[in-house]
Amino acid sequence: MRVISGIKKGFKLKAPKGKDIRPTEDRIKESLFNIIKNIDEESVVLDLFAGSGSIGIEFLSRGAKKSYFVDKSYLSIKCIKENLKHTNLEDKAVVIKRDAIKAIKFFGDNNIKFTHIFIDPPYGKGLILDVLKRIADEDVLKEDGIVIVEHERDLILEDRIGRIIIKDNRNYGSKSLTFYELDGI
């Protein structure tokens, strides 16, 4: 696993051990960043179920202002911190050991909003809908923001959850990326 573009291109990243850990494949990561394009020095990213932190680190490497990494696993938090130290991106990162739902509530309570939210929860645990509902309820997505969900291909997600609606869906073998944005109402 490595950073594929930007100022930290080529840096190798560690991944925590465990059966629920599925680092995003480089080809999916590359496609994801080709689709979203608009990363700049004002981008604030939330990497939920962050695992190794590779997605948030990729955003930082490509010029994002700040990335928040949330995971409830001690091993994942340790790995994220090691990867941030290795890439020398610690000053642009906030690492939080917390359940995803509680973290989103915390962000809502503190009026922290994101331009990009990446969600890649453990498969088969029914977490995606609850997380998307909490994102909509807590109003943590900026008006021009995007939510990206990596999930198993055969999982069909709802078209609308509160104010967030599906913008796009792409399939990559057994995995899919689904993109949500605010509907502008």
pLDDT for 57-81, tens place per residue?
999 999 999 999 999 999 999 999 9
Asked if pLDDT for residue 18 goes beyond 80, the answer is no
This prediction has a pTM of 0.94
Q: How far apart are CA 71 and CA 11, in angstroms?
A: 22
Q: DSSP letter at 65?
A: S
Asked if pLDDT for residue 27 goes beyond 90, the answer is no
**In the prediction, which pLDDT does 139 show?**
93
Count of residues in the chain: 185
Interstrand relation of 66-71 and 93-97 (parallel, antiparallel or unpaired) = parallel
Asked if pLDDT for residue 94 goes beyond 60, the answer is yes
Query: What does the block give as tokens for 113?
Result: 């909003």
Q: What is the number of other CB atoms lying within 10 angstroms of the CB of residue 129?
A: 12
Evaluate whether the domain defined by 26-182 bears CATH number 3.30.230.10: no
